[in-house]
Amino acid sequence: MKKTFLYLLLLPLGLFSCKDDEGTTPEPKAGINSELSGDISADVTLDPKVEYKLTGPLLVVNGGKLRIPAGTVIKAEKGFNKYILVEQGGQIFVNGTADKPVKITSAAANPSQGDWGGLIINGKARLSGPAGKVTTSTTEINPAVIYGGDNNSDNSGSIEYLILEYTGAKSSADIEHNGLTLNGVGSGTKIENVYIPYGADDAIEFFGGSVNVKNLLVVDSDDDMFDVTQGWSGTLDNAYGVWKAGYTSTESDPRGAELDGNLDGNTPGDVNQSNFTFKNITIVNESTFEMQDAVKVRRGAKANITNLLVKGGSVADLIDLTDGKGNGNANTVIEYHHTGVTVKGQVVKNPDNANIKANSANTGANTSVFSWTDYRF
């Protein structure tokens, strides 16, 4: 992967070193090669007047900066190896606006879930692991690339007003992309106003780290809407996930939120297990497809979830804190309300008496902030 070439012609794009995160948009040049792949090790600003094609892995390596101005469109060719990966020490600045979001989507004539890989960011923030050790891990889709460390304030850049469409390509059932994968990403990274429609696997997954995400809209993710594992310690604020009418899934247990303390439940003795906040969250099922759980807290995860609203459809269990590899942390706090939901099993499975309470005043996410997506609620 490191031997691929960057087909972006750097000189015609007018590369230069920028002093601020916004960058400077270069004037368009005739004959620009719009294909993207390979390593970015310098300070690169894309041109919003050019429609780019992602033809292979695009890697922002240590010291590299990728700046994507408002209104930029990137179309990915189909395939597992079409993805953007920001490595440790690299940074990405997605500078979209409500009027001109950045869109990264499929180049297929008839796009569908799983066409391309998605966006992966690797930081140096803490992961769950053995006491007294700094834990790192390897990227699922490229074991040569690591993430994690001990810098919870690590800064991988900023993302504002981004659409990630038709993501989730996979090479096998165990090696697959999400829409937005956050691997050990630190709290110095800003992520706000993200729209992830029609993705395979999970829409967003936090693998450890301490990054915060605000204003997230997920539509028709094939697996989980919101996924947490490996010691994440940040906040997800104002998130709305929905399965629309006619939705179906190829997964065996798709959920609204799947929340794990350690990676795959295989190291229950880890320190720094997931201890995070969800607030102002809505999970909606407008389809006839049964959701496994609206919220699953398991494998040592400690969740603080407030103003949760679950609407419509059917679920096996609404809120479940049980698992064969370890229950959710008994200090979990969840305040929830459900309406119009057919619960086939239990409303709450809470064997260790965590603080789980119903509150009919819950309103969930503020949908007005998603007007820029043109999604109709």
Residue 212: give the domain boundaries: 76-373
Give the pLDDT of residue 287: 98
CA dist 204 and 216 (Å) reads 9
The verdict on residue 157 lying in a domain is yes
Residue 16 has pLDDT above 90, yes or no: no
Give the pLDDT of residue 348: 98
Sequence-distant (6+) residues with CB within 8 A of 107 are 53, 54, 75, 76, 77, 78, 115
CA dist 208 and 140 (Å) reads 14
The verdict on residue 26 lying in a domain is no
What is the per-residue burial (b if ≥16 Cβ within 10 Å, else e) of 116-153?
Answer: bbbbbbbbbbbbbbeeeeebbbebbbbeebbbbbebbe
Tell me the two tokens of residue 102.
Answer: 């950045």
The verdict on residue 323 lying in a domain is yes
Tell me the two tokens of residue 364.
Answer: 């969930």
Contact indicator for 335, 360 with CB cutoff of 8 Å: no
Contact indicator for 237, 213 with CB cutoff of 8 Å: yes
**For 41-54, what is the mean pLDDT?**
97
> How many Cβ atoms sit within 10 Å of the Cβ of residue 175?
12
Contact indicator for 87, 65 with CB cutoff of 8 Å: no
Which stretch of 24-33, 69-78, 164-173, 280-289 has the lowest confidence by average pLDDT? 24-33
The β-bridge relationship of strands 142-148 and 136-139 is antiparallel
The verdict on residue 122 lying in a domain is yes
The verdict on residue 53 lying in a domain is no
In DSSP terms, 277 is beta-bridged to: 235, 304
CA dist 377 and 375 (Å) reads 6
The verdict on residue 25 lying in a domain is no
The verdict on residue 22 lying in a domain is no
Question: What region, left, alpha or beta, does residue 296 occupy, with left being phi > 0 and alpha being psi -120 to 50 degrees?
Answer: beta
Domain count, the chain: 1
Q: What are phi and psi of 61, to 5 degrees?
A: -90, 175
CA 311, 312, 313, 315 torsion-angle sign: positive
The verdict on residue 6 lying in a domain is no
Q: Tell me: the pLDDT tens digits for 199-222?
A: 999 999 999 999 999 999 999 999
Residue 10 has pLDDT above 60, yes or no: no
Q: Tell me: the pLDDT tens digits for 222-278?
A: 999 999 999 999 999 999 999 999 999 999 999 999 999 999 999 999 999 999 999
Predicted structure pTM score? 0.92
Q: Tell me: the pLDDT tens digits for 124-163?
A: 999 999 999 999 999 988 889 999 999 999 999 999 999 9
Q: Tell me: the pLDDT tens digits for 172-199?
A: 766 789 999 999 999 999 999 999 999 9
Identify residue 38 by its one-letter amino acid code: G
Q: How confident is the model at residue 110 (pLDDT cuts 50, 70, 90)?
A: very high
Tell me the two tokens of residue 287.
Answer: 């389809």
Reduced to 3 states (helix: H, G, I; strand: E, B; else coil), residue 368 is helix
Q: What are phi and psi of 195, to 5 degrees?
A: -125, 120
Q: What are phi and psi of 368, to 5 degrees?
A: -65, -25
Q: How confident is the model at residue 33 (pLDDT cuts 50, 70, 90)?
A: low
Residue 101 has pLDDT above 90, yes or no: yes
What's the DSSP call for residue 323? -
Q: What is the mean pLDDT of the chain?
A: 92
Reduced to 3 states (helix: H, G, I; strand: E, B; else coil), residue 192 is strand
Helix ranges (DSSP H) in the chain: 10-13
Give the pLDDT of residue 175: 75
Q: Tell me: the pLDDT tens digits for 276-327?
A: 999 999 999 999 999 999 999 999 999 999 999 999 999 999 999 999 999 9
Reduced to 3 states (helix: H, G, I; strand: E, B; else coil), residue 274 is coil
Residue 8 has pLDDT above 60, yes or no: no
Share of the chain above pLDDT 70, in %: 90
